[in-house]
Amino acid sequence: MYADDETIRKILTRTGDTWAVVGLSNNTSRAAYGVAALLQRYGKRIVPVHPKAETVHGERGYASLADVPFGVDVVDVFVNGDLAGRVADEAVAKGAAAVWFQLGVIDEEAYGRTRAAGLDMVMDRCPAIELPLLA
């Protein structure tokens, strides 16, 4: 409902390989930890974004998206729906090409704003589920 198969394929295969993973920490029980590892296995560079700014999976972390000193292609959002809209707006300001809201993260107004700004967006889906389906 919030992304067609072509948009998903585009983000996963053609948009770029630097993914800021917002909400990623060293908490191995959180979904973000496992999804980030899978993204790496598929050749993506992950950039942990979390207030703790921890190094995760060998990649230096940053406290906020604005603190990342280089461009990111996709912003993968693992925060709750109440905070996700702000992250989508930060992704637009950062110059990202796409925003991906994880399963259960839904903000229809943020979806509209992000699409209106010209970014591709997926909402309520998981790249760890979608990537293996591309083969």
Q: pLDDT class for 81, splitting at 50, 70, 90?
A: confident
Q: Read off the pTM.
A: 0.96
Condensed to tens digits (0 to 9), the pLDDT of residues 32-65 reads 999 999 999 999 999 999 999 999 999 999 999 9
Condensed to tens digits (0 to 9), the pLDDT of residues 5-14 reads 999 999 999 9
The confidence score (pLDDT) of residue 2 equals 78
**Does the pLDDT value for residue 1 go beyond 90?**
no
On the 0-12 / 13-18 / 19+ scale of CB atoms within 10 A, 88 is buried
Nearest to 83 by CA among 102, 107, 99, 103: 107
What is the percentage of the chain residues whose pLDDT exceeds 90?
A: 93
The confidence score (pLDDT) of residue 134 equals 87
Could you tell me which residues come within 8 angstroms of residue 69 by beta carbon, excluding any fewer than 6 positions away?
none
Q: pLDDT class for 4, splitting at 50, 70, 90?
A: confident
Condensed to tens digits (0 to 9), the pLDDT of residues 84-100 reads 999 999 999 999 999 99
Nearest to 126 by CA among 40, 20, 6, 12: 12
